[in-house]
Amino acid sequence: MADDEKIRLDPDAPPEAWLNQAKTLSEALPYMRLYAGETLVVKYGGNAMGDPKLAELFARDIALLRQVGSNPIVVHGGGPQIGSMLEKLSIKSEFIDGLRVTDQATVDVVEMVLAGSINKHIVSQINAAGGFAVGLSGKDGNLILADKLRRTVKDKDSNIERILDLGLVGEPRVITPHVLDFFQETDITPVIAPIGLGPNGETLNINADTAAGAIAGAMGAKRLLMLTDIKGVLDENGQLIAKMTATEARALIKKGVIKGGMIPKVETCLDAIDDGVEAAVIIDGRIPHAVLLELFTKHGAGTLIQAD
């Protein structure tokens, strides 16, 4: 970066502002060293993606991670954008347990929106922030080979279990890591749309959290970072739990403290840890620079779950 391109403080700013900037950089240095050369998988979605300012800051954060020697991999969602496009096209959509029932017409729209407009917009934002990003879907290079997802539900009256067919909804069966290994040797950041390839060559829609967790495990990532629209995992009193072990997380699910939509997110984190990820973090994506706060400060920005 040329001298005249450096980011500078207001020359009229008080000396404390200069000192605070220097202090911040100094305190972040040990953490930058900790993650240098390490793979970081970031699941991106929610308010962090929908708010233009937060989206801009996220792109800058990802570009910075590359600059300090980390290897970020971005896996993104896009539920609201998909819903909006389906509505415009008058295609009805149904949800079961938070998963979109997906027929052929729906999956065509899902692929168009996720692998098309959303993916390329994120790529463009990272590139504009000074990074070098390339967009992929799970179908590229057989990155995500998937099976159709089946859900078993029990009838409340008869107590008989039945299998729900969610259509063209998938769950990762195999992640092909060498597709992403290539990017680790370059300065390119892959941005991945969670579309998988089924056993018969069909396109399968995959939950972005699930895809991110599977990719983190396959890549042996140091961290899985999952951006959400809440503070993180909360205790019985609604207070943030800053850190817990995998065993403690499972106990909180069993007790009903972790409930609702937080359960699948925590279970994704636990699966990633079981697959060798050092730790997974559920982050409040509504906070500006949430990724940097989590990685490069002592207090973090969410709930860290680590192996026992």
Give the domain ranges of the chain: 43-214, 222-308
pLDDT of residue 140: 95
CATH architecture of 43-214: 3-Layer(aba) Sandwich (3.40)
**Which H or E run contains 216?**
helix 208-219
Tally the C-alpha atoms within 13 A of residue 178's C-alpha that lie toward its C-beta.
2
The DSSP symbol for 188 reads: P
Q: What angle do CA 147, 150, 155 make, to 5 degrees?
A: 175
Alpha-carbon span 99 to 119, nearest angstrom: 21
User: What pLDDT, on a 0 to 100 scale, did the predictor assign at position 131?
Assistant: 95
Residue 221 has a pLDDT of: 96
Of the CA atoms within 13 Å of residue 202, those in its CB half-sphere come to 18
pLDDT averaged per 10 residues, the chain (length 308): 46 61 66 85 89 94 93 93 90 76 90 94 96 96 93 64 80 93 89 96 95 96 94 92 95 93 94 95 93 86 92
Provide, for the chain, the percentages of residues in helix, strand and coil under a 3-state DSSP scheme, each rounded to the nearest 5. 45, 25, 30
The first and second tokens of residue 229, run together, are 């629209």
Tell me, what's the pLDDT at 16?
Answer: 65
